[in-house]
Amino acid sequence: MDQVRAGMTVRIRRLGADPGVSQRLREIGLGEDQLVRLIAKSSSLICQVCNSRLALSSAVAAQILVEPVLPARVA
């Protein structure tokens, strides 16, 4: 997740942190298949998950594998 630019929405594919950290991330809403929007990026990452904003250290963010979510096309 550390490669994501501010403003992007991504889907979490895998948590690569140790089991304790991965479980805590799931408890706060950062589980597999969850959509996350990166709000700001500096020494920590500010993410929007559902209606909450969370701060992640860059070390933890580097252990979250994500994929970009393409904008919906309007017909």
Residue 54 lies in a domain: yes
- Does some domain include residue 4? no
Q: Is residue 1 part of a domain?
A: no
Nearest CA to 67 out of 13, 16, 3, 7 is that of 13
> Which one-letter DSSP state was computed for residue 17?
S
Contacts of 7 (CB under 8 A, 6+ apart): 37, 38
Domain extent, residue 20, equals: 9-68
Task: Read off the pTM.
Answer: 0.85
CB 3 within 8 A of CB 67: no
pLDDT digits 0-9 by tens, 10-52: 999 999 999 999 999 999 999 999 999 999 998 899 999 999 9
CATH number at residue 54: 2.30.30.90
Whether 18 maps to a domain, the answer reads: yes
Is 28 a member of any domain?
yes
Domain count, the chain: 1
Give me the mean pLDDT over the 3-13 stretch.
93
Instruction: Grade residue 6 by pLDDT with cuts at 50, 70 and 90.
Output: very high
Quickly state the pLDDT bin for 72 (edges 50, 70, 90).
low
